[in-house]
Chains A and B, each alone.
Chain A
């Protein structure tokens, strides 16, 4: 679907005309991210992160393909191959640092993209499918990033593989055989390293495929916007190109500046020193932590220290997976007729003073030593996390009185909309 006032693609010359009649690829691009896609005119910079995530996906694929040209997934040489890339390959250090930090930046922009979605309830009808596909992308990213971190075969790689596959041991009865099956052995070694490399190379292309579905689903209802009021008329929108291509270009420049500061001046800050020690199956580092982007879920995993009916380990694993899976149900848990947090006083309070501090705490606690007071704090934060999504959100969305919405996006931007009848507000969104 598109809005009736969307501009139509017109081939500018004979060649494009010929192509358009046979394979209308330029038309597809024109309608997807060109002038043929009308977008709400009031998007804030929080709407930049989708395009930025796409940029980092491409960056990871390009640098990853290049790194794979110089790497070998063999436990006896993998660590040395990475050093070969860092020391001998032309620009190898740049490729590798860009890839390592690129993963972090991919997660940074995706987390911002997700939290934009939380605040503006971007998951609500009619955009549920966009949201569901987005959560799938996030899960695939986590799997890809985890397996990628194993490839340098440092201490954190090895023990990360050991610990994460160990999660499956919590499954009753079949847990231990599943772990052995996943690793192709009793501990991480060649078999595990090779399959992780194979899947690490494959999954980004699966992600790219789901991203295409994500964008396709987006183009059915069109983009949401900070008011949460649906597009009503042509004056509510601007063509994606040149308006948002220009805005995204500027946003990309800003993010690339920060990215370059990390890659060129502090490339190892987001990594862990222990991963510069070659994997040693006989010695565990003092503190095993995953990469920072897994910290919240790692904190949730470690918060369960008490056997209650089920063993603590199983509780931790269940809670960790549930923490992401609850996102799938958000469209049906949040029943508020209003989307945007700007018009939801109660929701807004719980977002800024509940969810955000809770996530900040989990991000911090996941990287801390497993000792007090961090354990107590992660138990509190974990409890709030589940209460927020599964209890608070359904309840407040039923009881809160939303603030009046603008009649239209035009009115929100310009202060008045000649189409608005005096004294009316917009119909509820959902």
Chain B
């Protein structure tokens, strides 16, 4: 019965010779693979659309005029929609930072490594605590600068020193120094 009416069963599908099986398997596997490739091809743009769009990327550099910052003062600028701290260190603060042996720190860096040559008094860091992203205090006049005279993050109690290095508290690394360059003696370009 099945023979004359051609009822489909899985046995019938696989009833040709060895040669036929190879060819059939090849075509079916190729067709399914093509569908898979197509699926991946669709997923890629779907994933990529979530990354920053062209207008966001275009705003990823900021110019800051640092000429008006007096020693001991800091300003908050905005870089990539995040606070950027620019601080003019006093000689005392520089000395304090240099007095610490970098090897003893959680994240070993010297002040010189964290500033530009010839501009060691200008500390440019992100105002984003490396623990969980709060904005540390200490940039504005009268704010708590923490036990080491730099910045203090009130969320979970991280203390940064005058070079923005983590000294006490849960933060794992120093405040990030973004990529920047002096475009003139008084202007820095961040990003």
Name A residues whose Cβ lies closer than 8 Å to a Cβ of B: 35, 41, 62, 66, 69-70, 84, 87-92, 94-95, 234-235, 238-239, 242-243, 246, 249, 410, 414, 417-418
Q: Is there an interface contact between B50 and A249, defined as CB atoms closer than 8 Å?
A: no
The one of A62, A90, A243 in contact with B8, judged by C-beta atoms closer than 8 angstroms, is A243
The answer to whether B50 touches A69 (Cβ under 8 A) is yes
Whole-angstrom CA separation of A418 from B54 in the bound complex: 69
Smallest Cβ distance from B141 to chain A, in angstroms?
A: 37
Inter-chain CA distance A263–B28, complex, in Å, is 29
B14-57 contact mask (Cβ, 8 Å, vs A): 1 or 0:
00000000000000100100010000000001101111011110
A242-B13, A249-B31 as given contacts; A90 in contact with B51, CB under 8 Å: yes
Q: How far is the CB of A424 from chain B (nearest CB, A)?
A: 18
* Majority secondary structure, B binding face: helix
Instruction: List the B residue with the shortest CB-CB distance to A418.
Output: B4
Main secondary structure of the interface of A (DSSP, over half): helix
CA distance A242 to B27 in the complex (A): 13
> A65: nearest residue on chain B (CB-CB)?
B46
Judge whether B55 and A88 touch: CB under 8 Å. yes
Minimum distance in angstroms from B128 CB to a CB of chain A: 24
CB contact list, B41-87 vs A, under 8 A:
45-46, 48-51, 53-56
Known: A87-B54, A90-B51. A66 touches B46 (CB 8 A): yes
Q: Decide yes or no: A88 and B53 within 8 Å by CB, A41-B8, A234-B7 being known contacts.
A: yes
**Once bound together, how far apart are the Cα atoms of A84 and B7, in whole Å?**
56
**Contact indicator A238/B49 (Cβ below 8 Å):** no
For B10, list chain A residues within 8 Å (CB): 35
Whether the Cβ atoms of B7 and A235 lie closer than 8 Å is yes
In the assembled complex, the Cα of A418 lies from the Cα of B13 at a distance in Å of 23
A92 nearest in chain B by CB position: B49
Q: Flag whether B5 is at the interface (Cβ < 8 A).
A: yes
B6, B35, B45, B54: the one contacting A249 at CB < 8 Å is B35
- Whether B5 contacts A235 by the Cβ 8 Å rule is yes
- Contact (A91, B1) CB under 8 Å given A41-B8, A249-B31, A249-B35: no
